[in-house]
Amino acid sequence: MPVSLDNLLVIGISSRALFDLEAEETLFRAEGLDAYRRHQLENENEILKPGAGFALVRALLKLNELTHNQRFVEVVIMSRNSSETSMRIFNSIRHYGLDITRAVLSGGALLTPYLRAFNVSLFLSLHEDDVQAAIDSGVAAALLYQKPDNAFEELDQIRIAFDGDAVIFSDESERIFQAQGIEAFENHERENAMKPLPEGPFARLLKALSFIQNNFRTADGRSAPMRTALVTARSSPAHERVIRTLRAWDMVIDETFFMGGVHKSDVLAAFKPHIFFDDQHGHCERAAPLVQTGRVPSPNRA
C-alpha cells in the first residue's frame, strides 16, 4: 500500500544545508563539475560535518521518537547532485543516525517541480535561486545563513521564531509602510483591526506546527516539546490586528514580542530558537551570528 505524506510536516532540505559542503561548493565553482565529481567519489567514506540546517532537522526528527504509533515529521534530501555523487551524503546521514530515507537527486535539474510531489511544507537551502523558485511556486522556503557558533547547543524544546509581515502574514501591510511611511501603515492597521491579515508564505507551516503542538500540549503547556515565538517590528496600535488574526486562525503562538523598531537580536538570543525566519536582510544579518537564521524572499510578481 503506498505511503502518504499528506498529513505530515515534510521538510525538504538541500544537502549543502544539512551538511557543511562549503569546500566542495568552492571546488565546484572554481574547477567545475568533473573536479567536484572526482572529489566526492574519492571522499565518499569521509563523514561530512553538520551544516546550517542540521540542528533543526535533528530536533524535528526527535518528535517521531516521542510517540509509538504516529509520525509527525519526514525529511527529504533535495539535491541537484546525481545519484553517483550522493553516497557521501547518505553515509553521513547514517553516521549521525538521522531518520531520513527519501531523497530527490535531480542531476542538475530544477528542484521546484518535486516540492509539490513530496508535499513539502518547508524547503531550506543555501542556493538563493532554488529558494526563490520555491517561494514563487507557493511553498514556504528560506535561504539559510551560515550557522552561528552555538548552533548545536542542546535544548529541551524545539524552538522556532518567526517575523510577522511577509512571513506568517502577507506583505500587504508592509508594502504600505514601505511606500507611504509609518503613519499611513498605522492608520491602515487601525482601520482594519477587525479584518484578519491575509496568509503569508509561512502560514501553512505555522498551522502544521500548531497541530503538532496540540498533540503534545499539557494543561500548563510547559512540557510540550516545541515552542514558537512571533518577533515582529510592529507595536501598538498595529498589534491588535495580529492578535485578532491569530484568533481567527484558531492558533496560539507561545511567545509574542512587539518590538516597535527595537533590534530583534537580544530577544532572539534569549529565546534561543533552532531557527528564526525573517524577510529583511538587515534583520537576518544582525540575528545570524547569534541564532540560526533563514531569510524568506519576497515572491516575484508578474
Q: Identify the active-site residue in 163, 171, 278, 279.
A: 163
Residues 46, 175: Cα–Cα separation, whole Å: 48
What is the Cα 179 distance to its own chain's centre?
28
**121 DSSP β-pair partners:** none
Q: Is 163 a catalytic residue?
A: yes
Q: Which of 201, 12, 269, 274 is nearest to 119 (CA)?
A: 12
**78 DSSP β-pair partners:** 104
Q: State the cell numbers at 41.
A: 567519489
Residues 34, 40: Cα–Cα separation, whole Å: 10
Other beta carbons less than 10 A from residue 245's beta carbon: 20
The DSSP H or E segment spanning 183 is: helix 182-191
Residues noted as catalytic: 163
